[in-house]
Amino acid sequence: MAIGGRQLLAEDDDAWYVRAGAGENWHQLVRWTLEQGWPGLENLALIPGTVGAAPIQNIGAYGLEIADRFLSLEACDMQSGKTLHIDRAACRFAYRDSVFKQQGWHLDAGRVVTHVTLRLPKAWQPLTGYADLAAELDQQQIANPNARQIAAAVTHVRRRKLPDPAVLPNAGSFFHNPLVDAAAGERLASRFPGLPRYPQVDGRVKLAAGWLIEQSGWKGRNLGPVGMYEKQALVLVNRGGASGAEVIALAKAVQAAVRERFGVELTPEPVFL
């Protein structure tokens, strides 16, 4: 979807409201908002893709999801030509999920996102709790970072750990970070010291899928022309000429290894067509 354009749609005492075309580059939108002095998207810097795709996946990184900044979107019903206005509640956002990944909202259903409107609160607070981000800021000796410094740190970490899709084809994080109940999290932590755990507001615990994959022996390991990236075990890479069947075979092998070692089920982020 090549619809471009970005604008400050409105402003009030509490927030800035930014509207962008679905074809806008996501990272460029993040940079532009920061250049205007509107913080709030900095933790989502350098995520590849377009604005229109961002709510589909409910993109997220370093403690922030687009759901946290989302106000509404517009979509075109290709059959009727009508514009649909979808608010946050109707999106049914969840961890790396939304209503748009369900049947009836796919492109083959004839509905296409055209514009997204975001709400950037003026009561800004830095989100620096994730270990990689905190370590990067500490290394730069930044104790009280502003939004642009956080975006720069996020960008640096992502470039260091993640391969460029244009050079080494990949879809970013291939598996969801699994969610388990608190009791299961405690049991796993007692068996596996050093297990990264992130408590959630609903009482569950998020586990680091990359750590589980690495501890299961798959970091940097290949299966034919596909493999798990040597710098970030959560990223599945195509080293050249891989088929869809080979990608799925590797994904299943990784899932089986994690299931056997930890009793935890990994779920792929990409939608298999």
pLDDT in tens, 51-73: 999 999 999 999 999 999 999 99
The first and second tokens of residue 237, run together, are 């890479």
Residue 14 in 3-state DSSP? coil
Overall average pLDDT of the 223-231 stretch: 96
Catalytic site residue from 96, 119, 136, 158: 96
Q: Return the minimum-mean-pLDDT range out of 44-58, 79-93, 103-117, 218-232.
A: 103-117
Q: Are 4 and 24 in contact (CB under 8 A)?
A: yes
**Does residue 106 carry a pLDDT above 80?**
no
**Does residue 18 carry a pLDDT above 60?**
yes
pLDDT for position 183: 96
Closest to 149 in 3D by CA, of 32, 43, 25, 15: 43
The per-residue pLDDT for range 119-141, each reduced to its tens digit, is 999 999 999 998 899 999 999 99
Mean pLDDT taken over the chain: 94
**Does residue 107 carry a pLDDT above 60?**
no
Cα distance between residue 236 and residue 218, in whole Å:
10
**Does residue 257 carry a pLDDT above 90?**
yes
Q: Are 237 and 216 in contact (CB under 8 A)?
A: no
- The single-letter code of the amino acid at 60 is G
pLDDT band at 19 (very low <50, low <70, confident <90, very high): very high
The per-residue pLDDT for range 163-198, each reduced to its tens digit, is 988 899 998 899 999 999 999 999 999 999 999 998
pLDDT for position 102: 78
Q: Are 218 and 175 in contact (CB under 8 A)?
A: no
Neighbours of 215 (CB within 10 A): 18
**Does residue 147 carry a pLDDT above 90?**
yes
**Does residue 148 carry a pLDDT above 60?**
yes
Beta-carbon-side half-sphere exposure of residue 3 (alpha carbons within 13 Å): 16
Strands of 59-132 (E only): list them.
Answer: 60-61, 64-65, 70-77, 83-87, 111-121
**Active-site annotation holds for 173:** yes
**Active-site annotation holds for 190:** no
The first and second tokens of residue 272, run together, are 């298999």
The per-residue pLDDT for range 77-98, each reduced to its tens digit, is 888 989 999 999 999 999 889 9
**Does residue 11 carry a pLDDT above 60?**
yes
Catalytic site residue from 72, 98, 173, 216: 173
**Active-site annotation holds for 269:** yes
Q: Are 27 and 54 in contact (CB under 8 A)?
A: no
